[in-house]
Amino acid sequence: MKPVIHIVDDDKSYRTSTARLLSAHGLKVEVYESGDQFLARLSAGEPGCVLLDLQMPGQSGLQIQRRLCELAPLLPVVFLTGEGDIKTSVEAMKAGAKDFLEKSSGAAALMEAIDHALIQYESQLAEHDRLQAQRALVAGLSPRETEVFRLLILGRLNKQIAYALGISERTVKVHRHQVMEKLGVGSLAEAVSIAANLGLIDHG
């Protein structure tokens, strides 16, 4: 699926000229005159990035960004402003904006910001998919295998697990083997890594 560059800006002339520029570079572009219009038409699973005007009638760029964190957290945001407000820039970057450009920035700077945002999107999507796959593998464990898995990742030995669950060591070994097989890992370290990725290990 080709990524879509969403231009959200109440300035019609800027919207139009930027859309023309990006289309000329072979990019797929959608334009919106307000943040509300953009959110109403948003397709959460669609790849791309958002060029978001900071100051608009209705919801501000920062308010739209906060909604995007809930609705499409993987979609990168590049803020556009005619004001160069440093404080707002810092606030936007802390909230996860990928870049912050003044509208007077040249085409090269804009294209570079979009390239970075799209690369970031691909990277975050790959990580998201990897975590989803790992989550599905762990969810596929039986209740007993899940108990064994949770004790394994805490560093418990087979005999300690057997004692904790009231089963034989031999049974623990069988379950341990099944856990490793279902998770597609060849070592305890790999199983622990999956658990850490999914937040199953309490570092406190």
Instruction: With a cut of 80, say whether residue 144 has pLDDT above it.
Output: yes
Q: What is the pTM of this model?
A: 0.70
- In the predicted model, what is the mean pLDDT of residues 113-136? 90
In this prediction, residues 71-93 reach a mean pLDDT of 76
Per-residue pLDDT, averaged over 137-164, amounts to: 95
Q: Which residue has the tokens 């943040």?
A: 35
Nearest to 102 by CA among 126, 120, 78: 78
% of the chain exceeding 90 in pLDDT? 49
The pLDDT score that the predictor gives to residue 203 is: 53
The per-residue pLDDT of the chain, averaged, comes to 88
